[in-house]
Structure 1
Amino acid sequence: MNSIGRILVPCDGSPPATKALVSALELARGRGAHVRVVHVVDGMERATGFLYSHAMLREMRIAGQLILDDAAAVCASAGIPHDTRLLDREGRRLGEAVADEAAAWGADVVVVGTHARRGLQHLVLGSGAEQILRLATVPVLVVREAMKAQRMAA
């Protein structure tokens, strides 16, 4: 794995995404790898059938930039070379936007967090990590959120 030079990390500000970012920084450390953190502005038009106003999309972009700024601060404090990108979905699914960015940037690996939802939640909400796994042309490392019982025991 020493040939890893570019690590792409999609981040939505959730605990699983933060855990994935920390894992990506650990992977980058000692390899001289560069981390690119991306946030996808996702209006979920397909899932909701609702078209968002320009004002709502502007607020989503502002919130996404704040998430990226926080992630950049984490990368900087770890001393890892990094950059951030805000990706407007433009009608594409989350997985498509991340897979396209990974290919365009020449990422060696995508590190993504997952909520590990099951049952109805998974059916209704889907899985961004699953989309990325199916669509990415580079290896994908999935970092799973700890199970509730494990968190309670800690």
Structure 2
Amino acid sequence: MYQTILVPIDGSNTAESAAKEACRLASLCKARVRLLHVLDMTTMSNGFEEPDVYASTTRPLALKEAEELLTRIRAEMEKSGITVDTEIQEAMGAQIADVIVERAMTWKADIIVIGTHGRRGVRRFLMGSDAEQVARTSPVPVLLVRNEAGP
């Protein structure tokens, strides 16, 4: 069955639901989990800060928050006896979905478990969907998980 499960984590409720589902799947399959946080600094920078402020404050703070998020979810999974690795990747201008698929291929993941908001219609068109793009382009199976509380 599955030996390696990639779980992209962004701090959203849907990502938390995906992590819980991946934990259940990993327990059933005795699989290893890799939690991946893709850091998109373009969403964290206003473009007006001085380069030294970005380098000394903005980026380190974003990395610290990503580490704390991954550490928390890793600890929760390890309580269930799951072996968990964590990874932070900076998008560096790439689409987040492309980074996720590339990391899945590099890590040789058997499946990607990712949260989705389940948007439809105009909201989906305007906001896009990284999860949908991952599902469309991934060479490995993708399990889309909605927020446990509903859309």
TM band (smaller chain): 0.7 to 0.9
Give 1:89's aligned residue. 91
Query: What is the distance in 1 between the residues matched to 2:48 and 2:145?
Result: 32
Over 4 Å off, 4+ runs: 48-52
Q: How many residues align?
A: 144
Counterparts in 2 of 1:3-22, with a 5 A limit? Answer: 3-22=1-20
- The answer to whether the 8 Å contact 1:94/1:131 transfers is no
- CA distance 1:133–1:34, change in 2 (3 Å): same
- The answer to whether the 8 Å contact 2:41/2:90 transfers is no
Bigger shift: 32-41 or 123-132? Answer: 123-132
1:63 to 2:61 alignment: no
Gaps of 5+ in 1: 149-154
Counterparts in 2 of 1:133-148, with a 5 A limit? Answer: 133-145=135-147, 146-147=149-150
Give 1:42's aligned residue. 40
- The answer to whether the 8 Å contact 2:115/2:145 transfers is yes
Gaps of 5+ in 2: none
Give 1:26's aligned residue. 24
- The answer to whether the 8 Å contact 2:5/2:22 transfers is yes
Q: Normalising to structure 2: TM-score of the pair?
A: 0.85
- CA distance 1:51–1:8, change in 2 (3 Å): farther
Q: Normalising to structure 1: TM-score of the pair?
A: 0.84
CA RMSD of aligned residues (A): 2.1
1:94-130 deviation digits (Å, cap 9, x = unpaired): 1011000000000000000011223443233211101
SS of the residue corresponding to residue 78 of structure 1 reads: coil
Query: What is the distance in 2 between the residues matched to 1:15 and 1:138?
Result: 24
Query: What is the distance in 2 between the residues matched to 1:132 and 1:91?
Result: 17
Question: Cα distance, 1:51 vs. partner?
Answer: 8.0
